[in-house]
């Protein structure tokens, strides 16, 4: 397998489907093209149908195209390119917060033993801020699996931690591919957010990967469909990240395609009722929102 990111995710326990030489990561019942944004190959609807046929249980395949070629779209990745300089941030309060983070805390690369011993506690404290029964709990074993996968694919996986003296108060899991990197997971101890731990960590990551290593970009991933988060707007306002637009493409297994087209006219009603009906309505609403984005992208071409 020459797709190092797919190889790493498979070693972590992910399901990778290969069809026509294209790799897909299975997430729930969907197949997502398993590439960094600048690496996505040309994918056709026939390729996507082959992948769905190969997996048997996947309901749809999703990929983006024309990355960075569109002036505007309802689909995007949030990325930071170029040299990182605090003076490039126009908001004085944001510059002050970054400097406070630099003064109060320290960020550095973590060694495996620190990850195993310290990262789970921080992650589970971060999870305690959220309500619900489907909250993932982190264990040393889960980190051990990822560290072992990193050994199988050298140069792919790095952990950076933000420390108050010797206490870990936040961390980031970074994936490095082809002179670019992605912030896969970031967790903060909520008790230290007022110490500007989020500012300190992002500031250090940008300095490390953009200034020191001269990477092409650092990526925070695609637009979220299932729920809105404050993190990407925070990156844009405080650190100069930008929305880099592309087309969203989706191919459905035939029964789901029929259902999506049937329910699409009622998507706003379903969206309003999802808090009443529960998780199933939330999943349906997300599928219909995804379809709305796909249709919008088609209108622009």
Residue 133 — pLDDT band, cuts 50, 70, 90? Answer: very low
With 60 as the cut, is the pLDDT of residue 98 above it? yes
pLDDT higher for 257 or 301?
257
Closest CA to 170 of 242, 261, 248, 106: 106
Look up residue 79 and give its two tokens.
């990325």
Q: What is the mean pLDDT of residues 50-67?
A: 96
With 70 as the cut, is the pLDDT of residue 277 above it? no
Q: pTM of the entire structure?
A: 0.93
Average pLDDT of every residue of the chain: 93
C-alpha radius of gyration, the chain, whole number: 20
Q: What are the pLDDT digits (tens) for 2-42?
A: 899 999 999 999 999 999 999 999 998 999 999 999 999 99
Q: What are the pLDDT digits (tens) for 245-259?
A: 999 999 999 999 999
Q: What is the mean pLDDT of residues 285-290?
A: 93
- Is the domain defined by 80-245 classed in CATH 3.40.50.150? no
Distance of CA 133 to the CA centre of its chain: 22
Cα separations in angstroms, 121 against 69, 112, 124, 227, 252: 42, 15, 5, 25, 40
């Amino acid at each position: 397998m020459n797709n190092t990111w797919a190889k790493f995710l498979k070693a972590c326990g992910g399901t990778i489907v290969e069809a026509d030489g294209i790799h897909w990561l299975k997430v729930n019942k969907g197949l997502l093209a398993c590439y960094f944004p600048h690496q996505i190959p040309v994918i056709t609807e026939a390729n996507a149908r082959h992948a769905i046929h190969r997996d048997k249980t996947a309901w749809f395949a999703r990929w983006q195209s024309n990355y960075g070629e569109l002036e505007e779209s309802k689909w995007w990745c949030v990325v930071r390119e170029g040299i990182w300089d605090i003076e490039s941030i126009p908001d004085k309060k944001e510059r002050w917060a970054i400097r406070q983070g630099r003064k109060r805390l320290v960020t550095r690369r973590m060694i495996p033993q620190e990850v195993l011993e310290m990262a789970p506690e921080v992650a589970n404290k971060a999870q305690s801020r959220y309500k619900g029964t489907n909250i993932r709990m982190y264990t040393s074993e889960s980190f051990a699996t990822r560290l072992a996968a990193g050994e199988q694919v050298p140069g792919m996986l790095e952990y950076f931690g933000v420390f108050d003296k010797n206490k870990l108060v936040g961390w980031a899991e970074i994936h490095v591919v082809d002179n670019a990197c992605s912030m896969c997971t970031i967790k903060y101890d909520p008790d230290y957010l007022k110490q500007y731990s989020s500012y300190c960590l992002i500031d250090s990551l940008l300095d490390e990967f953009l200034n020191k290593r001269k990477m092409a970009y650092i990526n925070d991933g695609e637009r979220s469909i299932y729920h809105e988060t404050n993190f990407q707007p925070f990156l844009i306002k405080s650190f100069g990240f930008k929305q880099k637009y592309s087309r969203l493409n989706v191919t459905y297994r035939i029964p789901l395609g029929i259902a999506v087209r049937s329910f699409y006219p009622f998507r706003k009603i379903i969206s309003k009722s999802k808090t009443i009906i529960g998780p199933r309505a939330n999943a349906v609403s997300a599928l219909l929102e995804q379809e709305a984005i796909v249709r919008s992208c088609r209108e622009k071409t």
